[in-house]
Structure 1
Amino acid sequence: MKRIILLLLFVTIFLNQKETHASEILKVKLKNYIGDKEELTIQVKGRYTTMNGIEVISEEVEHILTIKKGSILLTNQNEKMSFDDSFVLIPDVYDEEHVITVNNKKYLGAMEFMIEDGKYIRPINQIPIEDYLKGVVPFEVYPSWKLETLKAQALAARTYTMTHMDKDMDDTIQYQVYGGYEWFEQASKAVEETKGEIITFDNKFHQCLLFC
């Protein structure tokens, strides 16, 4: 129930900025660059609050996340907050002026932190699909490739994403490598110029191109 509420809150925030649908918001577990950690360091740029919309996370301040007796502790020099088994940070506005950094890796969108296997803190990024793809294409192929080749990759990546929305996706090669908010101009242009387009065969998703 808590995650459903989170999704609705985040979609509401995003709808204030652009046209979208709930189905276009993707959840991605962050494993590839984070690994299995019992402690994480986070920072936020822009105003972020917890899911209740009350507790504000201080900007440009290093926060440490740790686990203690089944709860997640968020601490810095001046603050200390405790959350039962997970908590969510949501930006007031979805844009590139609201960025959350997890262990020196930047991400847009909302971020949930949950306890995994009783001892690790697992971040889960919630982000619109098109912006997710901007963090995928340059990490699945070389961002220096020609635009038309990058556009083909964007089509393949979007098709793969749409056909795996029911999976518990992460940012590793098991699904698609996702580099977060580390965008490359040419790759982003390829995503934008193919926005909403997928690969089909006989009017059905064609998921085998490049991924089978």
Structure 2
Amino acid sequence: SIGKPSGSAATDTKLASRPHSMREHAIFFAQALCDSAKNLPLSFLMVPHDFRRGRMRGRGYEDESAYLRDVATRMVHLCDAHVHLINNGTQYEPTESAYILKYADGTVSGLMHLLILSASVATPGLALVNQEKFVAFQHSIYPVDAAHVGSDNCVHDFTAPGVLAAAVKRFVRARARHKRELASRLPHMKLLAARNFDMLWNGECSAGMSCNFE
């Protein structure tokens, strides 16, 4: 379980502007997820999934697990959130991540790999959009316009104040519809996930390389 932070870290919990450093991103995401849980019975499961090892080094964290642990710890301090870092931060293989996602109600991620795995096991996803491919992927599943600022399956400009929390709330409220829409696309999503597994295992999506998802 995640314990409350001690010392000065406990007071370093809010940002006056958009996040820039990775530490500021951790503060931002902790606050945004806590805000999204207001008046909603949400629990959060942190699942490390970025297979580009070393990407966090030199940016304030040893790896993705350390970053997620910081987010989770801050959330507990901010709002007593029900939050758990899976397997104490040990990264799972894609098949293991897929098994976990199968039992989740929804996935919020800025990683295409995780959104594909989630969709392949019929768990709807909310995409943190940083490239146009996220919009195209989400629109291939959900008929609602994914490019719209008020979309319930994509978050645009998600570091703007209040945007992410509001998007998570919309996503949660639309979950039943998302499940129905995703069900009709499930065979294609399973095929796409199989291709995605091959990319991950063969190293075709390593750092510095581009992968396209259709």
Is the TM value for this pair above 0.5? no
Write 1 or 2 for the structure with the bigger share of strand. Answer: 1
Q: Normalising by structure 1, what TM-score?
A: 0.30
Q: Normalising by structure 2, what TM-score?
A: 0.29
Write 1 or 2 for the structure with the bigger share of helix. Answer: 2
Structure possessing the higher radius of gyration over alpha carbons: 1
